[in-house]
Structure 1
Amino acid sequence: MVVQRLQAAALLLGPLIFAASPFFWIDGHYGVNGGMLIALSMVPWVYGLIGEYERLRECAPRAAGLWLLLLLIGMFGSITFGMQGFFEEVFGMVDRTALDQLEDYPPQSLFVLWLPGPTFPLSLLVFGILLGWTRLSQRWVAALICLAAIAFPVGRVLRLEWVAYLVDLLVIVPFSQLAWCAWRRAGTAPTTS
Protein backbone atom coordinates (compact mmCIF):
# COMPACT_ATOMS: atom_id res chain seq x y z
CA MET A 1 0.00 0.00 0.00
CA VAL A 2 2.87 2.42 0.78
CA VAL A 3 4.44 1.96 -2.67
CA GLN A 4 1.08 2.44 -4.41
CA ARG A 5 0.45 5.62 -2.41
CA LEU A 6 3.91 6.94 -3.30
CA GLN A 7 3.29 6.17 -6.97
CA ALA A 8 -0.09 7.88 -6.80
CA ALA A 9 1.47 11.00 -5.30
CA ALA A 10 4.25 10.86 -7.91
CA LEU A 11 1.65 10.91 -10.71
CA LEU A 12 0.76 14.42 -9.59
CA LEU A 13 4.12 15.58 -8.28
CA GLY A 14 5.99 14.92 -11.56
CA PRO A 15 3.71 17.04 -13.77
CA LEU A 16 3.54 19.78 -11.11
CA ILE A 17 7.33 20.06 -10.90
CA PHE A 18 7.54 20.04 -14.70
CA ALA A 19 4.88 22.75 -14.91
CA ALA A 20 6.92 24.99 -12.61
CA SER A 21 9.81 25.10 -15.10
CA PRO A 22 8.45 27.85 -17.43
CA PHE A 23 8.24 30.22 -14.44
CA PHE A 24 12.05 30.19 -14.45
CA TRP A 25 12.65 30.57 -18.18
CA ILE A 26 15.07 33.28 -19.20
CA ASP A 27 14.04 34.77 -22.56
CA GLY A 28 12.59 31.43 -23.67
CA HIS A 29 15.51 29.35 -22.36
CA TYR A 30 15.26 26.85 -19.53
CA GLY A 31 18.22 28.16 -17.57
CA VAL A 32 19.62 26.56 -14.43
CA ASN A 33 16.37 26.44 -12.45
CA GLY A 34 14.00 25.55 -15.29
CA GLY A 35 16.38 22.88 -16.58
CA MET A 36 16.81 21.45 -13.11
CA LEU A 37 13.02 21.27 -12.61
CA ILE A 38 12.52 19.48 -15.93
CA ALA A 39 15.21 16.93 -15.11
CA LEU A 40 13.97 16.41 -11.54
CA SER A 41 10.33 16.10 -12.57
CA MET A 42 11.02 12.99 -14.60
CA VAL A 43 11.90 10.87 -11.56
CA PRO A 44 8.56 11.09 -9.73
CA TRP A 45 6.58 11.26 -12.98
CA VAL A 46 8.05 8.05 -14.35
CA TYR A 47 7.85 6.41 -10.91
CA GLY A 48 4.12 7.13 -10.89
CA LEU A 49 3.73 5.92 -14.47
CA ILE A 50 5.43 2.65 -13.57
CA GLY A 51 2.50 2.07 -11.19
CA GLU A 52 0.17 2.60 -14.14
CA TYR A 53 2.32 0.22 -16.19
CA GLU A 54 1.57 -2.50 -13.63
CA ARG A 55 -2.15 -2.01 -14.26
CA LEU A 56 -1.74 -1.88 -18.05
CA ARG A 57 0.41 -4.99 -18.03
CA GLU A 58 -2.50 -7.06 -16.74
CA CYS A 59 -4.71 -6.06 -19.71
CA ALA A 60 -2.18 -5.60 -22.51
CA PRO A 61 1.19 -7.08 -21.54
CA ARG A 62 3.00 -6.67 -24.88
CA ALA A 63 1.73 -3.17 -25.56
CA ALA A 64 2.44 -2.14 -21.97
CA GLY A 65 6.00 -3.50 -22.18
CA LEU A 66 6.70 -1.60 -25.39
CA TRP A 67 5.15 1.53 -23.90
CA LEU A 68 7.40 1.23 -20.82
CA LEU A 69 10.48 1.12 -23.07
CA LEU A 70 9.24 4.21 -24.94
CA LEU A 71 8.58 5.93 -21.60
CA LEU A 72 12.11 5.27 -20.33
CA ILE A 73 13.65 6.57 -23.56
CA GLY A 74 11.43 9.65 -23.24
CA MET A 75 12.48 10.14 -19.64
CA PHE A 76 16.11 10.09 -20.75
CA GLY A 77 15.36 12.65 -23.48
CA SER A 78 13.53 14.99 -21.11
CA ILE A 79 16.31 14.83 -18.54
CA THR A 80 18.84 15.51 -21.29
CA PHE A 81 16.94 18.59 -22.50
CA GLY A 82 16.62 19.81 -18.92
CA MET A 83 20.34 19.39 -18.37
CA GLN A 84 21.07 21.08 -21.69
CA GLY A 85 19.18 24.15 -20.42
CA PHE A 86 20.92 23.87 -17.07
CA PHE A 87 24.40 23.84 -18.62
CA GLU A 88 23.55 26.57 -21.12
CA GLU A 89 23.21 29.02 -18.27
CA VAL A 90 26.08 27.56 -16.23
CA PHE A 91 28.44 28.10 -19.18
CA GLY A 92 26.90 31.41 -20.24
CA MET A 93 25.48 30.19 -23.57
CA VAL A 94 21.83 31.16 -23.30
CA ASP A 95 21.47 32.14 -26.93
CA ARG A 96 21.68 29.93 -30.04
CA THR A 97 25.38 29.28 -29.35
CA ALA A 98 24.78 26.06 -27.40
CA LEU A 99 22.49 24.54 -30.02
CA ASP A 100 24.82 25.67 -32.80
CA GLN A 101 27.67 23.83 -31.06
CA LEU A 102 25.67 20.59 -31.31
CA GLU A 103 26.11 20.73 -35.09
CA ASP A 104 29.71 19.65 -34.50
CA TYR A 105 28.43 16.40 -32.99
CA PRO A 106 25.59 15.25 -35.26
CA PRO A 107 25.40 11.53 -34.41
CA GLN A 108 25.86 12.08 -30.67
CA SER A 109 23.32 14.90 -30.42
CA LEU A 110 20.91 12.82 -32.50
CA PHE A 111 21.01 9.99 -29.95
CA VAL A 112 21.20 12.17 -26.86
CA LEU A 113 18.73 14.96 -27.72
CA TRP A 114 16.88 14.88 -31.02
CA LEU A 115 15.59 11.27 -31.03
CA PRO A 116 14.81 10.73 -27.32
CA GLY A 117 13.56 14.30 -26.76
CA PRO A 118 10.22 13.93 -28.57
CA THR A 119 9.78 10.42 -27.20
CA PHE A 120 8.35 11.54 -23.86
CA PRO A 121 5.30 13.26 -25.40
CA LEU A 122 4.98 10.28 -27.75
CA SER A 123 4.96 7.96 -24.72
CA LEU A 124 2.20 10.10 -23.17
CA LEU A 125 0.17 9.76 -26.37
CA VAL A 126 0.60 5.98 -26.35
CA PHE A 127 -0.29 5.94 -22.65
CA GLY A 128 -3.51 7.84 -23.31
CA ILE A 129 -4.40 5.48 -26.15
CA LEU A 130 -3.71 2.45 -23.94
CA LEU A 131 -5.81 3.88 -21.12
CA GLY A 132 -8.70 4.45 -23.51
CA TRP A 133 -8.33 1.07 -25.20
CA THR A 134 -8.14 -0.92 -21.94
CA ARG A 135 -10.70 1.33 -20.22
CA LEU A 136 -8.53 1.56 -17.14
CA SER A 137 -9.49 5.20 -16.72
CA GLN A 138 -12.38 7.44 -17.61
CA ARG A 139 -12.51 8.25 -21.32
CA TRP A 140 -12.11 11.98 -20.69
CA VAL A 141 -8.84 11.29 -18.83
CA ALA A 142 -7.49 9.22 -21.73
CA ALA A 143 -8.64 11.85 -24.25
CA LEU A 144 -7.06 14.73 -22.29
CA ILE A 145 -3.78 12.84 -21.96
CA CYS A 146 -3.76 12.31 -25.74
CA LEU A 147 -4.55 15.97 -26.35
CA ALA A 148 -1.91 17.05 -23.82
CA ALA A 149 0.66 14.80 -25.48
CA ILE A 150 -0.01 16.40 -28.86
CA ALA A 151 0.10 19.93 -27.40
CA PHE A 152 3.10 19.19 -25.16
CA PRO A 153 5.80 19.89 -27.80
CA VAL A 154 4.04 23.11 -28.83
CA GLY A 155 4.50 24.50 -25.32
CA ARG A 156 8.21 23.78 -25.44
CA VAL A 157 9.09 24.45 -29.08
CA LEU A 158 7.41 27.86 -29.29
CA ARG A 159 8.99 28.92 -26.00
CA LEU A 160 6.06 31.21 -25.30
CA GLU A 161 5.45 31.19 -21.57
CA TRP A 162 1.66 31.55 -21.75
CA VAL A 163 1.44 28.61 -24.20
CA ALA A 164 3.64 26.49 -21.92
CA TYR A 165 1.43 27.38 -18.92
CA LEU A 166 -1.72 26.34 -20.77
CA VAL A 167 -0.22 23.11 -22.04
CA ASP A 168 1.16 22.25 -18.60
CA LEU A 169 -2.28 22.86 -17.09
CA LEU A 170 -3.72 20.56 -19.75
CA VAL A 171 -1.24 17.89 -18.59
CA ILE A 172 -1.92 18.42 -14.88
CA VAL A 173 -5.70 17.99 -15.10
CA PRO A 174 -5.81 14.34 -16.26
CA PHE A 175 -2.79 13.37 -14.17
CA SER A 176 -4.40 14.78 -11.04
CA GLN A 177 -7.42 12.57 -11.74
CA LEU A 178 -5.17 9.53 -12.33
CA ALA A 179 -3.32 10.31 -9.10
CA TRP A 180 -6.58 10.58 -7.17
CA CYS A 181 -7.88 7.28 -8.53
CA ALA A 182 -4.53 5.56 -7.82
CA TRP A 183 -4.55 6.96 -4.27
CA ARG A 184 -8.03 5.60 -3.69
CA ARG A 185 -7.13 2.19 -5.15
CA ALA A 186 -4.11 2.03 -2.85
CA GLY A 187 -6.37 2.60 0.16
CA THR A 188 -8.54 -0.36 -0.77
CA ALA A 189 -5.71 -2.69 -1.84
CA PRO A 190 -5.32 -5.75 0.35
CA THR A 191 -2.24 -5.61 2.59
CA THR A 192 0.22 -8.47 2.49
CA SER A 193 2.39 -9.52 5.37
Structure 2
Amino acid sequence: MKFPRPVKFPRPVELRTSRLVLRAWRPADAQPFAELNADPEVMAHLPAPLDRAASDALADRAAAALRREGWGWWAVELASTGAFIGFTGLSRTTFEAAFTPAVEVGWRLARPAWGHGYATEAATAAVGFGFEALDLAEIVSFTAVGNLRSRAVMERLGMTHDPGEDFDHPRLPAGHPLRRHVLHRLTRPAAGPRPPGH
Protein backbone atom coordinates (compact mmCIF):
# COMPACT_ATOMS: atom_id res chain seq x y z
CA MET A 1 0.00 0.00 0.00
CA LYS A 2 1.27 3.46 -0.86
CA PHE A 3 1.11 6.00 1.95
CA PRO A 4 0.70 9.73 1.36
CA ARG A 5 3.48 10.49 3.85
CA PRO A 6 6.66 8.76 5.04
CA VAL A 7 5.57 6.16 7.55
CA LYS A 8 8.75 5.37 9.44
CA PHE A 9 9.49 7.06 12.73
CA PRO A 10 12.91 7.18 14.44
CA ARG A 11 11.59 5.32 17.49
CA PRO A 12 8.39 3.54 18.47
CA VAL A 13 5.53 5.99 18.87
CA GLU A 14 3.70 5.87 22.19
CA LEU A 15 0.00 6.70 22.37
CA ARG A 16 -1.88 7.61 25.55
CA THR A 17 -5.56 7.79 26.36
CA SER A 18 -7.26 8.66 29.63
CA ARG A 19 -6.86 5.08 30.88
CA LEU A 20 -4.38 3.32 28.60
CA VAL A 21 -0.84 3.44 27.26
CA LEU A 22 -0.07 1.98 23.83
CA ARG A 23 3.67 1.37 23.93
CA ALA A 24 6.64 -0.67 22.77
CA TRP A 25 6.82 -4.29 23.89
CA ARG A 26 8.88 -5.32 26.93
CA PRO A 27 10.27 -8.71 27.95
CA ALA A 28 7.90 -8.76 30.92
CA ASP A 29 4.93 -8.77 28.52
CA ALA A 30 5.75 -12.28 27.28
CA GLN A 31 4.15 -14.20 30.17
CA PRO A 32 0.79 -12.38 30.31
CA PHE A 33 0.68 -12.37 26.51
CA ALA A 34 1.18 -16.14 26.46
CA GLU A 35 -1.61 -16.53 29.01
CA LEU A 36 -4.12 -14.58 26.93
CA ASN A 37 -3.09 -16.40 23.74
CA ALA A 38 -3.64 -19.73 25.49
CA ASP A 39 -7.14 -18.75 26.67
CA PRO A 40 -9.69 -20.62 24.53
CA GLU A 41 -12.29 -17.87 25.03
CA VAL A 42 -9.93 -15.11 23.89
CA MET A 43 -8.94 -17.19 20.87
CA ALA A 44 -12.43 -18.52 20.07
CA HIS A 45 -12.65 -16.62 16.77
CA LEU A 46 -9.07 -17.32 15.70
CA PRO A 47 -7.86 -20.64 14.30
CA ALA A 48 -6.47 -22.00 17.59
CA PRO A 49 -4.91 -20.97 20.90
CA LEU A 50 -1.16 -20.41 20.76
CA ASP A 51 1.47 -22.31 22.67
CA ARG A 52 4.25 -20.36 24.40
CA ALA A 53 6.65 -20.56 21.46
CA ALA A 54 4.07 -19.24 18.99
CA SER A 55 2.99 -16.50 21.40
CA ASP A 56 6.59 -15.38 21.94
CA ALA A 57 7.19 -15.37 18.19
CA LEU A 58 4.13 -13.16 17.65
CA ALA A 59 5.29 -10.73 20.32
CA ASP A 60 8.77 -10.67 18.78
CA ARG A 61 7.32 -9.85 15.35
CA ALA A 62 5.17 -7.08 16.80
CA ALA A 63 8.10 -5.62 18.72
CA ALA A 64 10.36 -5.76 15.66
CA ALA A 65 7.78 -3.98 13.50
CA LEU A 66 7.46 -1.20 16.08
CA ARG A 67 11.23 -0.77 16.16
CA ARG A 68 11.38 -0.77 12.38
CA GLU A 69 8.38 1.44 11.54
CA GLY A 70 7.58 3.22 14.78
CA TRP A 71 3.95 2.01 14.63
CA GLY A 72 2.14 -1.31 14.41
CA TRP A 73 0.72 -3.63 17.07
CA TRP A 74 1.31 -1.76 20.32
CA ALA A 75 1.39 -3.45 23.71
CA VAL A 76 -1.43 -1.99 25.82
CA GLU A 77 -1.17 -1.35 29.53
CA LEU A 78 -3.45 0.22 32.11
CA ALA A 79 -2.17 3.70 32.90
CA SER A 80 -3.26 3.36 36.52
CA THR A 81 -1.34 0.17 37.30
CA GLY A 82 1.03 -0.54 34.40
CA ALA A 83 -0.58 -3.95 33.93
CA PHE A 84 -0.26 -5.44 30.44
CA ILE A 85 -3.70 -6.27 29.01
CA GLY A 86 -3.01 -7.16 25.35
CA PHE A 87 -2.32 -5.42 22.07
CA THR A 88 -4.02 -2.97 19.75
CA GLY A 89 -2.79 -1.26 16.63
CA LEU A 90 -2.46 -0.91 12.91
CA SER A 91 -1.05 -3.32 10.36
CA ARG A 92 -0.75 -3.64 6.61
CA THR A 93 -2.99 -6.50 5.52
CA THR A 94 -0.68 -9.31 4.40
CA PHE A 95 -3.01 -11.37 2.22
CA GLU A 96 -4.74 -10.67 -1.07
CA ALA A 97 -8.44 -9.89 -1.13
CA ALA A 98 -10.81 -7.58 -2.98
CA PHE A 99 -10.17 -4.78 -0.46
CA THR A 100 -6.37 -5.03 -0.32
CA PRO A 101 -3.90 -3.39 -0.12
CA ALA A 102 -5.20 -1.92 3.12
CA VAL A 103 -4.27 -0.99 6.66
CA GLU A 104 -6.31 -2.68 9.36
CA VAL A 105 -6.98 -1.82 12.97
CA GLY A 106 -7.12 -4.76 15.35
CA TRP A 107 -6.98 -5.73 19.01
CA ARG A 108 -6.61 -8.70 21.32
CA LEU A 109 -7.15 -8.22 25.04
CA ALA A 110 -7.02 -10.55 28.02
CA ARG A 111 -10.41 -11.69 29.25
CA PRO A 112 -10.29 -9.72 32.56
CA ALA A 113 -9.95 -6.56 30.44
CA TRP A 114 -13.18 -7.22 28.54
CA GLY A 115 -16.29 -5.18 29.20
CA HIS A 116 -14.54 -1.96 30.21
CA GLY A 117 -14.40 -0.22 26.84
CA TYR A 118 -10.63 -0.66 26.59
CA ALA A 119 -10.67 -2.13 23.07
CA THR A 120 -12.70 0.80 21.74
CA GLU A 121 -10.53 3.32 23.60
CA ALA A 122 -7.26 1.85 22.37
CA ALA A 123 -8.51 1.35 18.81
CA THR A 124 -9.77 4.94 18.70
CA ALA A 125 -6.24 6.12 19.55
CA ALA A 126 -4.74 3.87 16.89
CA VAL A 127 -7.23 5.03 14.25
CA GLY A 128 -6.55 8.66 15.12
CA PHE A 129 -2.84 8.06 14.66
CA GLY A 130 -3.47 6.38 11.32
CA PHE A 131 -5.49 9.28 9.97
CA GLU A 132 -3.43 12.11 11.46
CA ALA A 133 0.16 10.86 11.48
CA LEU A 134 0.06 8.42 8.55
CA ASP A 135 -2.47 10.45 6.54
CA LEU A 136 -4.41 7.31 5.63
CA ALA A 137 -7.59 7.82 3.65
CA GLU A 138 -9.21 4.66 5.03
CA ILE A 139 -8.72 2.03 7.72
CA VAL A 140 -10.41 -1.37 7.67
CA SER A 141 -11.11 -4.08 10.20
CA PHE A 142 -12.31 -7.63 9.73
CA THR A 143 -13.18 -10.67 11.78
CA ALA A 144 -15.04 -13.95 11.65
CA VAL A 145 -18.80 -13.50 11.20
CA GLY A 146 -19.57 -14.87 14.66
CA ASN A 147 -17.21 -12.55 16.55
CA LEU A 148 -19.94 -10.27 17.86
CA ARG A 149 -17.72 -8.58 20.47
CA SER A 150 -15.22 -7.34 17.91
CA ARG A 151 -17.98 -6.40 15.50
CA ALA A 152 -19.51 -4.25 18.24
CA VAL A 153 -16.17 -2.48 18.71
CA MET A 154 -16.03 -1.80 14.96
CA GLU A 155 -19.50 -0.27 15.14
CA ARG A 156 -18.52 1.90 18.13
CA LEU A 157 -15.55 3.14 16.10
CA GLY A 158 -18.04 4.37 13.49
CA MET A 159 -17.00 1.81 10.89
CA THR A 160 -19.46 0.75 8.20
CA HIS A 161 -20.28 -2.77 7.04
CA ASP A 162 -21.48 -3.71 3.57
CA PRO A 163 -22.58 -7.37 3.59
CA GLY A 164 -21.66 -7.52 -0.09
CA GLU A 165 -18.00 -7.17 0.91
CA ASP A 166 -17.96 -10.15 3.29
CA PHE A 167 -15.24 -12.57 2.20
CA ASP A 168 -13.68 -15.98 2.73
CA HIS A 169 -10.35 -15.58 4.49
CA PRO A 170 -7.74 -16.98 2.08
CA ARG A 171 -5.60 -18.39 4.89
CA LEU A 172 -8.37 -20.65 6.17
CA PRO A 173 -9.36 -23.80 4.25
CA ALA A 174 -12.73 -24.28 2.59
CA GLY A 175 -15.26 -25.53 5.11
CA HIS A 176 -13.45 -24.03 8.12
CA PRO A 177 -16.07 -22.61 10.51
CA LEU A 178 -14.20 -19.29 10.80
CA ARG A 179 -13.48 -18.81 7.11
CA ARG A 180 -16.31 -16.36 6.40
CA HIS A 181 -15.32 -12.84 7.49
CA VAL A 182 -17.03 -9.48 7.69
CA LEU A 183 -15.26 -6.34 6.52
CA HIS A 184 -15.75 -2.93 8.13
CA ARG A 185 -14.40 0.34 6.73
CA LEU A 186 -13.71 3.75 8.22
CA THR A 187 -12.94 6.76 6.04
CA ARG A 188 -10.84 9.66 7.29
CA PRO A 189 -13.10 12.45 8.51
CA ALA A 190 -13.30 15.49 6.26
CA ALA A 191 -11.09 18.27 7.60
CA GLY A 192 -10.95 21.96 6.97
CA PRO A 193 -8.12 23.65 5.02
CA ARG A 194 -4.69 22.93 6.40
CA PRO A 195 -2.45 25.83 7.44
CA PRO A 196 0.11 26.91 4.83
CA GLY A 197 3.17 24.69 4.86
CA HIS A 198 1.45 21.84 6.70
Instruction: Give TM-score scaled by structure 1 length.
Output: 0.27
> Which of the two has greater strand per residue?
2
When normalised by structure 2's length, the TM-score is 0.26
Q: Which has the higher contact order (CA 8 A, sep 6+)?
A: 1
Structure in which a larger fraction of residues adopt helix: 1
